[in-house]
Structure 1
Amino acid sequence: MWAESDCSRWLDAQPHGSMLYISFGSYAHVTKQELHEITGGVLASGAHFLWVMRPNIVSSDDLDPLYEGFAGAAAVPWCCQVEVLSHAAVGGVLTHCGWNSILESAWAGVPMLCFPLLTDQITNRRLVVREWRAGVSIGDRGAVCADEVKAQIEGVMGGEDGVKLREQVKKLRGTLEAAVALGGSSRRSFDEFVDELKRRCGGSH
């Protein structure tokens, strides 16, 4: 487990909805070329950003991942993602589409720029972009380019598309709230799971 950086004071000083949060999770790796293109697009967009830049973010066969001109002051090795996403300064997230990250982004009402890297993340992106319309897609594995990253960031952070995405994320959050509320589907499933555990444990004595 990596030590978390406290970003709260820095975020408190940023305008409402102005920050782009970037994280590719605790496991997924990008290639050096992908990192180069994404970073180039982020910098070209002019967006203020906070990037979780893990020491092992690039593939194991690549070294020295930092991109020339990267704003190091906007990077941290790790942070509490839930706290960052819930902060009023955050207006978008560039994510690898891990399921936890999607749920946390939706709960915080933050639209997503989706760059999946492996396994279920490809399907998760389809849900976010095509089914829920709560985010936009960035390239495919190995085909991301800086110009596309720049354009998508600008659309989400300051364009009309961003307004529509936030409306959709708000609806998605409503669905999540209903699921965990008393009588909701997630609450019912969890209660059934606990009841089954109790039944089985009680039956073994």
Structure 2
Amino acid sequence: MVNVSLWTSPAIVLLLNYHLELLRQNGHVPFTGNTNNHIKYIPGIQSITTKDLMTYLQDPEAIPVFTRMVEKSLEQVKKADFILCNTVEELESKALSALSQKHPTYAIGPINFFSDITQTSIAKSLCIGQSSKEEIEELAHGILLSQVYFVWVVRSNIIGGNGSDIFPKGFEDVVKDKGLIVPWCNQNMVLSSSATGGFLTHCGWNSILESIWHGVPMICYPFLVDQPTNRKLVVDDWKIGIDLFDGEQVGREEVASKISILMRGENSIRIKQQVKKLSKKLHESLDAEGSSYINFNRFIEDLEDKLCVGKP
């Protein structure tokens, strides 16, 4: 029997999981104290700080059930004959090269775009992801201060409350001509709209790939699991987004400032140019001569060879 593993997070996350024991030996998992310690000994990762590690590595006891689930998943990945990664060589070449030293690894992403979706993005509105109830008020006031048009997904089944009671008093009336507040939306369709100029995201990997695909720069607001690591890729490595806040808590003035920086500031031009470059690379990766297209066909050939071994 041939085992094939599909890894749906970025390659850097798999690489960090692979080197968990090395992180433990160096005292970086779990860690206490300075969150800005630089880790430079993981093959394929030039540098990463402890605060950018996945949250289940930072504190394995915070969500023990999830930590055990990840450990079991990694056990299966290590047994695989082939690993398919939902990423692109042009985004994570060093991490993928390091993984290939351990297992045959193929970057075949972005797997959620095996169709032709090509629309551009301009800075007219902001798409906002899910937030907790405690942060709603500061985000709402920050949006008012920023004066942008927006779509805001607020799932009351997660944050508690029902309807308007989760917003500052009078907020929905004030923004009714500038904002759309919904419990769910087709995120891919919103990001593909030419009216979308920015995406405030918690940095889920699929959301990042969708945002890059459509050329939409990001404001990063990571919470759990691999989101802090994904944030590092977006902000520090690829330079296609900015952090929502620099401290430990979000404030309305900083929200307004960061939205303005992304949508109107001098840096916004550079960020938008960079994300459009990466968008082009993602589109090209699925072309007939693109890296992901070639890698997938190479995987099929290698799989056929593996299956034929031992047959008369």
Tell me, yes or no, whether TM beats 0.5: yes
1:76–1:41 Cα change, 3 Å: same
Kindly provide the amino acid, as one letter, of the partner of residue 89 in structure 1. A
Q: 1:32 aligns with which of 126, 133, 140?
A: 133
SS in 2 for 1:74: strand
Q: Could you report, residue by residue, the CA deviation over 1:26-67 in whole angstroms, capped at 9, with x for unpaired residues?
A: xxxx43222222222112211110111222242xxx545621
Task: Tell me if 1:67 matches 2:167.
Answer: yes
Counterpart CA distance in 2 for 1:66 and 1:140 is 25
Aligned to 1:9: none
Gaps of 5+ in 2: 1-121
4+ residue runs of structure 1 moved beyond 3 angstroms?
62-65, 70-73, 192-203
1:199–1:140 Cα change, 3 Å: farther
Kindly provide the amino acid, as one letter, of the partner of residue 50 in structure 1. V
Q: 2:244 aligns with which of 128, 135, 138?
A: 138
Counterpart CA distance in 2 for 1:169 and 1:35 is 28
Q: 1:42 aligns with which of 136, 143, 147?
A: 143
Normalised TM-score (structure 1): 0.77
Q: Could you report, residue by residue, the CA deviation over 1:5-25 in whole angstroms, capped at 9, with x for unpaired residues?
A: xxxxxxxxxxx531111123x
Aligned residues: 182
* Deviates most, 186-195 or 148-157: 186-195
SS in 1 for 2:157: coil
Q: Which has the larger radius of gyration?
A: 2
Normalised TM-score (structure 2): 0.53
Shift of 1:190: 2.1
Task: Tell me if 1:157 matches 2:270.
Answer: no
Shift of 1:164: 1.2
Counterpart CA distance in 2 for 1:199 and 1:79 is 43
User: What is the root-mean-square deviation of aligned Cα atoms in Å?
Assistant: 2.5
Higher relative contact order (CA 8 A, sep 6+): 1
Shift of 1:74: 1.2
Q: 1:106 aligns with which of 188, 199, 212?
A: 212
SS in 1 for 2:234: helix
Aligned to 1:10: none
Gaps of 5+ in 1: 1-15, 25-29
Counterpart CA distance in 2 for 1:80 and 1:165 is 25
